[in-house]
Amino acid sequence: MNAVAATDQRSSDWSLIERVVARDETALAALYDRYSGLLCGILNRILRDAQAAEEILQDVFFQVWRNAAQFDPARGSIAGWLVVAARNRAISRLRRRNPGETEELIENTVVLPFNLESEAAQKEMLGKVRGALQDLSTEQREAVELAYFEGLTHSEIAARTGDPLGTVKTRLRSAVESLKTKLSGPGK
Amino acid sequence: MTNGHPYQDADYDLYALGALRGEECAAIESHVASCDECAQKLAQARGRIALLALAVEPVEPSPGAKEALLRQLHATVEGHEGRRAPEPARVRFRAAGWWTAIWAPAAVAFACITIFLVVENRKIAQQIDAMHADVAQLQAQVQDAQSNVALFSAKDTVRVALAPSKDFRGANASVRYNARLGKAFYSDSISTPAPPDKSYQLWLVPADGKPISAGILSPSAGAGSEMFVSVPPGTTAKAFAVTVEPTGGSPQPTGPKILVGGM
């Protein structure tokens, strides 16, 4: 790893974004190196198609390149935006929605309760998230995964599982409340 | 769900999860659009739900994916620069046009001049060759004239009178001959043209060997014939004669002699 790459590795997401705004391709490459594994994991999980996953991965980072100047540190985290954008695009493709519906996501604010800028932080959170999900009941975890990885609504989950809609709603609500407790950041 | 905030954190989590129906989403979006506090709650809910991505094992994309992205960036950068800084391109175009405007006519002119010079050079070369030929011809004529003059002035030039045959009685003819110079001058007073299909041919009869043709006479009405004749220098002449030969002459005498003169 050369000195520039090492520096990029230590740079914050926002300092990299500032360089991307200045059309520094190495900065975008550094962001890519930092988050492409995470995003590719979720994209593969949703799409089950490596080629489609990489297409969306490229699309998401290219949107960062095009719209870097629109990012505002006061409005959330880059990592959060990347995850939300990648997931929404994948769900749109999976459910054959109009991809244009996800274009305005750049305006969405995503506040991550944890900093994921280092690989170590990501690994630490991986354990925490998996632990939180394991703490859910099987039905809750299934409902959460159907919603998160397949983009199903309450009704669709009910139709898929055969459970009453009210049950699914209660199950999901209790699941997200549990996750909030486990995944809230320090002091929350 | 109180104090003007109709939604709980779980509602925003469910919204971020994508579990709500369209009208439920629209209601939440309408509220957060006018409520900064709830907009912040929604932003935090998005962050919490986003963390679920970490439940999945990371997957390194293929190297080709990054290369494709960087190629896409390069294409954009080049296109961007091309749009943002078109002036240099136009300047270059103008510069090229300016240079072309000078260079192209100059090249054409140069080519035309070159072709013109080549053609002219050939013409001049041909003219020079012709002049050389003329000079050579003139030199030959001068030499011939000088030799003619020398023929008449040389002490070793001899005059031979030719006697006519009975059919040309009254005609006068003579030859001044210089064997050293190989020159002779013939003159006669014959005004009668040669018969049709015939020519009068002059012969030098050497001391040794066969007669040598010295030329075809061209008598003009009332004036006779005159001509300078060149023969191989050093040829000792025994006699001169004029015969009637087929038109254009013969290699050797075949017809009757009309004039004969011995040395």
Q: Quote the pLDDT of residue A138.
A: 94
**pTM of structure:** 0.56
First to last CA, chain A: 38
Tell me how far apart the 2 most distant CA atoms of chain A are, in Å: 58
User: If we measure between CA atoms, which residue out of A77, A102, A168, A1 comes closest to residue B19?
Assistant: A168
Q: Which residues contact B172 (CB under 8 A, 6 or more apart)?
A: B164, B188, B189
Q: Quote the pLDDT of residue A6.
A: 55
Nearest CA in chain B to A65: B73
Tell me what the mean pLDDT of segment A76-87 comes to: 89
Chain A residues with CB under 8 Å of B77 CB are: 23, 25
Q: Quote the pLDDT of residue A102.
A: 45
Nearest CA in chain A to B29: A108
3-state SS assignment for residue B58: coil
Q: For chain A, give the mean pLDDT.
A: 85
What's the token pair of residue B140? 């030959």
Q: Quote the pLDDT of residue A8.
A: 61
Q: Establish whether this prediction's ipTM goes over 0.90.
A: no
Chain A residues with CB under 8 Å of B74 CB are: 25
Q: Quote the pLDDT of residue B127.
A: 82
Chain A residues with CB under 8 Å of B60 CB are: 36-37, 40
Cα B104 to Cα B97: distance, rounded to the nearest angstrom: 10
Range scoring the smallest mean pLDDT among A54-63, A85-94, A112-121, B10-19: A112-121
Say if B51 is an interface residue toward chain A (CB within 8 Å).
yes
Report the residue from A122, A153, A176 with minimal CB separation from B54. A122
pLDDT category at A179 given cuts 50, 70, 90 is: very high
What domains are defined for chain B? 9-122 (no CATH), 158-262 (2.60.40)
Q: Which residues contact B252 (CB under 8 A, 6 or more apart)?
A: B210, B211
Contact flag A109-B46 (C-beta cutoff 8 Å): yes
Say if B54 is an interface residue toward chain A (CB within 8 Å).
yes
Nearest-neighbour CA in chain A from B59: distance (Å):
5
pLDDT tens digits, one per residue of A4-42: 555 566 678 888 999 999 999 999 999 999 999 999 999
Q: Quote the pLDDT of residue A7.
A: 59
What domains are defined for chain A? 1-107 (1.10.1740.10), 112-188 (1.10.10.10)
In this structure, are residues B7 and B1 in contact, taking their beta carbons and an 8 Å threshold?
A: yes
The pLDDT tens digits along chain B (263 residues) read: 556 788 888 999 999 999 998 888 888 888 888 888 888 888 888 888 988 988 888 899 998 999 999 888 888 766 654 333 333 333 344 445 566 777 788 888 888 888 888 888 888 887 887 787 777 777 777 777 787 888 888 889 999 999 988 888 888 899 999 998 888 998 888 877 888 888 889 999 999 888 998 888 877 656 778 888 888 888 899 999 999 998 888 889 999 998 999 98
3-class DSSP string for B189-244: CCCCCCCCCEEEEEEEEECCCCCEEEEECCCECCCECEEEEECCCCCCEEEEEEEE
Say if B43 is an interface residue toward chain A (CB within 8 Å).
yes
